[in-house]
Amino acid sequence: MNKLLFIGNTRLGDAVMSTGLLNELTNYYDAKVTIVCGKVAAPVFEDCPFIEKVIKINKKKYSLHWLDIWKKIRLNRWDIICDLRSTPIIWFVKAKKRIVLRSSGDALHRIKRLAKLNPSGKMPIPKVWISDQSMKIAKKYLNNDSGPFIAIGPTANWPAKVWSTDNFAALIRKILDFKELKGSRVILVGGPGEESVGEDLSKKLLDIKLINLIGKPILPTAAVFSLSKIFIGNDSGLMHLSAATGIPTLGLFGPTDDKLYSPTGKNAFFIRTPKSPQELMDIPNFNHRTSPTLMDTLTVEMVENRVKDLLLSSK
């Protein structure tokens, strides 16, 4: 069996989008895998059956973390190295074959860029591996309720990408009346540190018994998605995770580019603000870490209609 070193990403969304290529390479080369990735991304790979080791990147000044990684991989003889970071260290490690995603890239969707590295020629559709233990935890979160469930992702990693909780509250009330979603329980999902968004949304829906799972671990959250009827949420890593489970997924876009990062899969849809990312961010002193939401022109009615399209398409 071949040995594959897969140098992946630090962000959750990028890591999820890379899973299809990882799966394709593993099957094509009949390989066991060592993953190099960030701490946030690492849980994505915990339940993957062909991964032998995950090496987590501990970022340091002047990119000295790559020296630490090199020390951990240099004594191995790799059959294949796939590097999604275009790091110089791979040229100082023994390998029969190197596959590199150039950092400059082009104006292609991330999945299409990764497809260029796939020796089988197939589009590397993301996937997620969910163990029985992760599923057991997910069902416990849901009190072993049989559903149906609607997963809502009201958070994102920067404020400008976040659709308001007022809009999410109004949308939830509307879609609970849809024939396909009648009787559904609503689940809130998000990352650690984003709990306040869920608390704010819950206060606006006091008459609806929500299941608030914001801050829960990644793979049990993926298992929750797999049990859900639909996911609706901001452009985020969890949006990509939902799409990777195969459930109907609707991503909401504004200042980020759907042409590059829309969710991928048979049941993956997106909707964006009327203005492009460039138009939205062309404002004085824009800072993605501090600028408030740029999602206000995406109306509840627009999203509601797109939910209808998604439900019709996924029948």
Tell me how far apart the alpha carbons of residues 132 and 59 are, in angstroms, rounded to a whole number.
32
Q: Are residues 236 and 290 in the same domain?
A: yes
Instruction: With respect to residue 232, please indicate whether it lies within any of the assigned structural domains.
Output: yes
Instruction: With respect to residue 122, please indicate whether it lies within any of the assigned structural domains.
Output: no
Tell me how far apart the alpha carbons of residues 27 and 170 are, in angstroms, rounded to a whole number.
45
CA distances from 26 to 161, 202, 204 (A): 34, 43, 47
Q: Give residue-wise pLDDT tens across range 139-152.
A: 999 999 988 999 99
Instruction: With respect to residue 239, please indicate whether it lies within any of the assigned structural domains.
Output: yes
Q: Are residues 145 and 50 in the same domain?
A: no
Q: Are residues 110 and 237 in the same domain?
A: no
pLDDT score of 105: 62
Q: Are residues 40 and 109 in the same domain?
A: yes
Which domain range does residue 81 map to? 2-115
Tell me how far apart the alpha carbons of residues 121 and 299 are, in angstroms, rounded to a whole number.
39
User: Any residues with CB less than 8 A from the CB of 88 and at least 6 apart, and which?
Assistant: 66
Q: Are residues 24 and 59 in the same domain?
A: yes
Closest alpha carbon to 159 in 294, 13, 299? 294
31, 1 Cβ separation under 8 angstroms = yes
Tell me how far apart the alpha carbons of residues 299 and 59 are, in angstroms, rounded to a whole number.
39
Instruction: With respect to residue 18, please indicate whether it lies within any of the assigned structural domains.
Output: yes
Tell me how far apart the alpha carbons of residues 114 and 100 are, in angstroms, rounded to a whole number.
10
Q: Are residues 182 and 301 in the same domain?
A: yes
75, 93 Cβ separation under 8 angstroms = no
The count of structural domains within the chain is 2
Single-letter code of the amino acid located at 233: G
Q: Are residues 98 and 160 in the same domain?
A: no
Q: Are residues 247 and 144 in the same domain?
A: yes
Encoded tokens for 84: 């999604």
Domain end position, chosen among 115, 148, 170: 115
Q: Are residues 304 and 213 in the same domain?
A: yes
255, 281 Cβ separation under 8 angstroms = yes
Q: Give residue-wise pLDDT tens across range 11-69.
A: 999 999 999 999 999 999 999 999 999 999 999 999 999 999 999 999 999 999 999 99
Average pLDDT over all residues of the chain: 96
Closest alpha carbon to 87 in 101, 108, 73, 68? 101
Tell me how far apart the alpha carbons of residues 38 and 35 are, in angstroms, rounded to a whole number.
10
Domain end position, chosen among 115, 148, 173: 115
pLDDT score of 107: 86
Q: Are residues 158 and 304 in the same domain?
A: yes
Q: Are residues 222 and 152 in the same domain?
A: yes
pLDDT score of 288: 85
Q: Are residues 166 and 111 in the same domain?
A: no
Tell me how far apart the alpha carbons of residues 68 and 33 are, in angstroms, rounded to a whole number.
19
Q: Give residue-wise pLDDT tens across range 194-240.
A: 999 999 999 999 999 999 999 999 999 999 999 999 999 999 999 99
Q: What is the CATH number of the domain that holds 231?
A: 3.40.50.2000
- Single pTM value for the model: 0.96
Q: Which whole number is the average pLDDT over 141-168?
A: 96
Q: Which whole number is the average pLDDT over 287-299?
A: 94
Q: In what order do the strands lie in the sheet with 95-100?
A: 51-57, 31-38, 2-7, 78-83, 95-100
Sequence-ordered alpha helix ranges (H) in the chain: 12-29, 65-73, 110-115, 132-141, 165-175, 195-203, 218-226, 237-245, 258-261, 277-281, 300-313
Instruction: With respect to residue 45, please indicate whether it lies within any of the assigned structural domains.
Output: yes
Q: Give residue-wise pLDDT tens across range 75-117.
A: 999 999 999 999 999 999 999 999 999 876 678 999 999 999 9
Domain end position, chosen among 115, 148, 175: 115
